[in-house]
Amino acid sequence: MTAGRRAAAAAGRGGGTGPAAEAEARRLDASDPVPSLRAEFHVPPAPGGAYPEAAYFAGNSLGLQPRTVAGLLREELDDWARLGVEGHTRGRRPWVDYHELLREPAARLVGALPHEVVAMNTLTVNLHLMMASFYRPSGERTRIVIEDTAFPSDSYAVASQAVHHGLDPADAVVRLRPRDGEEHLRTEDVVAYLERDGARVALLLLGGVNYLTGQLMDMAAITRAGRAAGAVVGWDLAHAAGNVPLRLHDWDVDFAAWCTYKYLNSGPGAVAGCFVHERHVRDASVPKLSGWWGTERATRFEMAPEIRPPASADAWQVSNPPVLALAPVLASLEIFDRAGMDALRARSGRLTGYLADRLAPIPGISVITPSDPAARGSQLSVRVPGTGGLDAGALVERLAAEAGVIADAREPDVVRLAPVPLYCTFHDCHRAAEALAAITGSA
């Protein structure tokens, strides 16, 4: 029996309601082997006065601000004020090498070698830079394969890449769909497609965790199948980085990109991350779009007209990194280094399992995220098909206004709840389940 089910059984069917269930949630918080780091984050206040802080379940959309961010930003602003341009070489953290500070913690986070990762740009920009290098349609091998419920930006990006190469996206872009009546792509179906039609696939680009359903893909198995089919395999890790343990190097992934403003708590529009496997970073023949920061550091300021790319993911950098935007990423990665992804993953499983059990008996809703804990991360997507006349957006508004529970909606009928292990608690999950039951029941 899972920790969530044990808690639910102790408090009554589905975790029960009222004081007994709340006491059980508090007991679970007090006894969890991986304590919450909630005190290290700014948590929004809750309206109404029942609780001082919100139960924040929107970290899969925008993570909370670490309390150390303001101090790091003040230091960079102070160096700018004191030193001006000399801050590039004389600052507390010299700006010319600032992105290097993120390299090793980012590599640990995604299971990479340090020279395989770089912090740069934003997610879709990085995907375009990667596709400029690795989507090379030729002969019959022209297809880009994505999931049908890919985030819209990915859909737009791959379609535009097809057009850029003179192809019709209707033919070049393949959208893999679940079986009829199912919500999720089965790994065996993805593998079967690659075994059957892989000779026509130039690029496989799936989301590591699906933004809509919360499904965690079997990235290792799918990568093996894609590479065996002769395709390049890339991953969009927007909802996976900082959410689930990753082993990009060992899985033999060709490239990956991720944002840092969701589970990585680095602020709206924060600088993103990118991975390129070392077999590519050491291959000077790989084409790439280049810029000043993509040349080797030792000769960068010689201002030579010929680029000399380093044998690292830095070769894909185009512009100098925005230091003020990198400081929050640095603050966040320090927290992840200290907490450890394996410990966070274990806590995430307990929180998400407990919330799933509390949601299960609520009538009129259904959880569309996989029930298998190994096939999901820190997100439960709840379908509310017109419950009492409430669409997803209206329900999310009521959760915030009436209970201080902050979630997000994906119209028309999905509410996403992410019990992020860094700062969410069992008591937060209790509040969310109680509020959802009360609102849907009254509606």
Domains of the chain listed by start with CATH number: 3-66+340-442 (3.90.1150.10), 99-320 (3.40.640.10)
pLDDT digits (tens, 9 = 90+) for 128-141: 999 999 999 999 99
pLDDT > 60? residue 13:
no
Task: Write phi, then psi, for 257 (nearest 5 degrees).
Answer: -145, 150
Q: Provide the percentage of residues in the chain whose pLDDT is more than 90.
A: 90
pLDDT of residue 5: 45
- Tell me the mean pLDDT in the region 406-434: 97
pLDDT of residue 375: 98
pLDDT > 90? residue 126:
yes
What is d(CA 367, CA 430) in angstroms, rounded to the nearest whole number? Answer: 16
What is d(CA 228, CA 198) in angstroms, rounded to the nearest whole number? Answer: 9
Q: Which stretch of 198-202, 275-279, 387-391, 429-433 has the lowest confidence by average pLDDT?
A: 387-391
Q: Where is 185: in which H helix or E strand?
A: none
Closest among 134, 112, 282 to 203, alpha carbons compared: 134
- Tell me the mean pLDDT in the region 230-252: 98
3-state secondary structure of 178: coil
pLDDT > 90? residue 89:
yes
pLDDT digits (tens, 9 = 90+) for 175-197: 999 999 999 999 999 999 999 99
3-state secondary structure of 263: coil
The annotation places the binding site at: 123-124, 151-154, 236, 239, 261, 292, 320
Closest among 94, 96, 88 to 317, alpha carbons compared: 96
Distances (CA, A) of 358 to 243, 367, 416, 432: 22, 11, 15, 9
Closest among 262, 251, 264, 272 to 204, alpha carbons compared: 251
Q: Provide the percentage of residues in the chain whose pLDDT is more than 70.
A: 95
Q: Which stretch of 63-72, 361-370, 381-390 has the lowest confidence by average pLDDT?
A: 381-390
What is d(CA 275, CA 246) in angstroms, rounded to the nearest whole number? Answer: 12
pLDDT of residue 443: 59
pLDDT of residue 387: 58
pLDDT of residue 12: 33
pLDDT digits (tens, 9 = 90+) for 257-315: 999 999 999 999 999 999 999 999 999 999 999 999 999 999 998 999 999 999 999 99
Q: Mean pLDDT for the chain?
A: 94
pTM for this model (two decimals): 0.94
Beta bridge partners of 236: 207, 257
Tell me the CB-side half-sphere exposure of residue 336, using CA atoms within 13 A: 28
The annotation places the binding site for pyridoxal 5'-phosphate at: 123-124, 151-154, 236, 239, 261, 292, 320
pLDDT category at 386 given cuts 50, 70, 90 is confident
Backbone torsion region of residue 45, taken as left when φ is above 0, otherwise alpha when ψ lies between -120 and 50, otherwise beta = beta
pLDDT of residue 8: 39
